[in-house]
Amino acid sequence: MSLKPESFDLIVIGGGINGAGIAADAAGRGLKVLLCEQDDLASATSSASSKLIHGGLRYLEQYEFRLVRESLAEREVLLRKAPHIIKPLRFRLPHQSHLRPAWMLRAGLFLYDHLSQRTTLKGSHSIKFDESSPLVKTIKKGFEYSDAWVEDARLVVLNAMDARNRGATVKTRTCCIKAEKQDNQWQVTLQDQFSNSKTLYTCQALVNAAGPWVNKIFDQALEVPAPNKIRLIRGSHIIVPKLHDQPEAYILQNTDNRIVFVIPFEEDYSLIGTTDIEHKDSLSKVCISEEEKSYLIDVANSYYTSKINLSDIVRCYSGVRPLLDDESDNPQAITRDYTFELDGDALNGDKSTPVLLSIYGGKITTYRKLAEAAVNKLVPFFPSASPAWTATSPLPGGDFDDRPTLEQKLTSDFPWLPESLCQRLVKCYGTLSYQILEGSTCLAELGELAGADLYFKEVKYLVDQEWACTAEDILWRRSKLGLKFNESEKLKLTAIIESLDGSCEAA
């Protein structure tokens, strides 16, 4: 233990999208911030989403108008903030009269188009399916509308980088094992997951953004009862060879009133999800069930002419959504909106007391608004904090107008760069691509090839700048190159990472 604990204004527990967003917002307002994550950034729920920035068309049926309005507005904000990892995506909604009537779909899409102002995304319209349609021939008509695609784990990493660039300390593989009030401040004990060494820190404000572990922090670190009950709802996805060559995603209605997305994924695949299942098992055992696999396959097969089966599944992933328990009987009806719990002493107006803010719920689309609102709750305890700023500031690498223009510039500056690698770098890193390519005059100068088009200099950048510690960090969260790597290439990548002798503490 350190004898002289370092002091922070704010310590954030949880390196998912909410924790990273809050850390970035607070650091940008001038607060001294520490963000800790027990595993890798985005290692749980935040990397297991449907990869969408969307208003939530189905939430209209639950009358979640405020949430949908905020989500729709945030699509435009995030498209501007991160044009490298977020892009517009058109959705097709096939109509089946025995499910939802056409008038209901038209009314829902009218609200979707008009609840918030659109500046870049096209509106909805009805469509007819012709002979080129990938759907079964009995489906003749439907609707088309806009939402957006996001590289979800990279969104988390970029927010953590933004926080670090503004002065925050980011510690991955670091668990909060104890937090207690003492001498009008929090004393927080963090444990390094590799060395098991413990370090004591102090802070004025503590944010519990641990996602599915939010109540575990109360039980084990704070040793007080949690203020709310949560429902852990598992959402699972499967990845299969692409079901069609069209650029649009599809939103499929099912007879149980749920919807399933089929989304173009990494050029050669389709992403199918999600489910809504109460998760009763340990959080260390979050995986798709055979029933969920069959459910997703059956829904897809009821719509598409190309049929799939269990043997076509290339990869599955599952995440647990920590939703506030509203005693709903139906998991899909539980609100996806977020709730804050502020420590009781703070509610009495005592600004000298250490404050605790806990985050319940939320969705990736509204993370920035959640973070802004959370820091606004804490600002009264820090009178020198500057105003909110995140709505107009690009995330790291997002300071450019559009991908094609940046690709052209990169190709001009590095004419030896293969087109496919150039495109991948731009969609992952945006202008940060220059940090990877700097000083290289030919492909060979990028260093050893690990596999696919992943070279030594990119691996070094990810270890040095993005907290990557393992092959999985790189292949499934910093990228999706795991779809292209064989076992020997994974071993080679692991050897390269080990040769860098990184400490997992990015510069």
Distance of CA 115 to the CA centre of its chain: 24
For residue 458, what pLDDT band results from cuts at 50, 70 and 90?
very high
End-to-end Cα separation, the chain, in angstroms: 23
Q: Is the pLDDT of residue 3 over 90?
A: no
Which CA distances in Å does 165 have to 246, 253, 465, 468? 39, 43, 11, 17
- What pLDDT, on a 0 to 100 scale, did the predictor assign at position 33? 98
Q: Is the pLDDT of residue 286 over 80?
A: yes
Q: Is the pLDDT of residue 2 over 50?
A: no
Which amino acid type is present at position 294? S
Q: Which residues, in sequence order, are CB contacts of 371 under 8 Å at separation 6+?
A: 18, 21, 22, 24, 25, 390
- What pLDDT, on a 0 to 100 scale, did the predictor assign at position 75? 96
Residue with token string 């319940």: 360
Which tens digit of pLDDT belongs to each residue from 239-252?
A: 999 999 999 999 99
Q: Is the pLDDT of residue 41 over 90?
A: yes
The tokens of 452 are what?
């696919």
- What pLDDT, on a 0 to 100 scale, did the predictor assign at position 353? 82
- Go through the chain and tell me how many residues it has: 507
For residue 501, what pLDDT band results from cuts at 50, 70 and 90?
confident
Which is it for strands 33-36 and 6-13: parallel, antiparallel or unpaired? parallel
Q: Is the pLDDT of residue 344 over 80?
A: no
- What pLDDT, on a 0 to 100 scale, did the predictor assign at position 507? 43
Comparing C-alpha atoms, which of 395, 389, 384, 354 is closest to residue 17?
A: 395
Specify the CATH class of 6-45+154-228+336-381 in words.
alpha beta
Q: Which residues, in sequence order, are CB contacts of 9 under 8 Å at separation 6+?
A: 26, 31, 32, 33, 203, 204, 205, 382
Which tens digit of pLDDT belongs to each residue from 373-385?
A: 999 999 999 999 9
Give the Cα separation of 410 and 407 in Å (integer): 5
Specify the CATH class of 87-150+231-325 in words.
alpha beta
What is the chain's percent helix, strand, coil content, to nearest 5?
A: 35, 25, 40
Contacts 24+ apart (CB under 8 A), 470-475: 470/40, 470/494, 470/497, 471/497, 472/40, 473/40
- What pLDDT, on a 0 to 100 scale, did the predictor assign at position 1? 47
Domain with CATH 3.50.50.60 in the chain: 6-45+154-228+336-381
- Give the best-scoring range by mean pLDDT among 26-30, 361-365, 503-507: 26-30
Specify the CATH class of 403-500 in words.
mainly alpha
For residue 85, what pLDDT band results from cuts at 50, 70 and 90?
very high
Angle at 459 (CA atoms; ends 37, 176), nearest 5 degrees: 10
Domain with CATH 1.10.8.870 in the chain: 403-500
Which amino acid type is present at position 458? E
- What pLDDT, on a 0 to 100 scale, did the predictor assign at position 497? 97
Give the Cα separation of 86 and 150 in Å (integer): 4
Q: Is the pLDDT of residue 333 over 60?
A: no
The rounded mean pLDDT for the chain is: 94
Which tens digit of pLDDT belongs to each residue from 117-155?
A: 888 899 999 999 999 999 999 999 999 999 999 999 999
Q: Is the pLDDT of residue 334 over 90?
A: no
DSSP assignment string, 439-469: T--SGGGG--EEETTEEHHHHHHHHHHS---
Q: Is the pLDDT of residue 349 over 80?
A: no
- What pLDDT, on a 0 to 100 scale, did the predictor assign at position 274? 94
DSSP reduced 3-state for 4: coil
Which tens digit of pLDDT belongs to each residue from 461-473?
A: 999 999 999 999 9
Q: Is the pLDDT of residue 350 over 70?
A: no
Question: What's the average model confidence in pLDDT over 211-217?
Answer: 96
Which tens digit of pLDDT belongs to each residue from 160-185?
A: 999 999 999 999 999 999 999 998 99
pTM above 0.85, yes or no: yes
Domain with CATH 3.30.9.10 in the chain: 87-150+231-325
Comparing C-alpha atoms, which of 410, 495, 481, 416 is closest to residue 451?
A: 481
Mind spelling out the 3-state secondary structure of 242-308? CCCCCCCEEEEECCCCCEEEEEEECCCEEEEECCCEECCCCCCCCCCCHHHHHHHHHHHHCCECCCC
For residue 452, what pLDDT band results from cuts at 50, 70 and 90?
very high
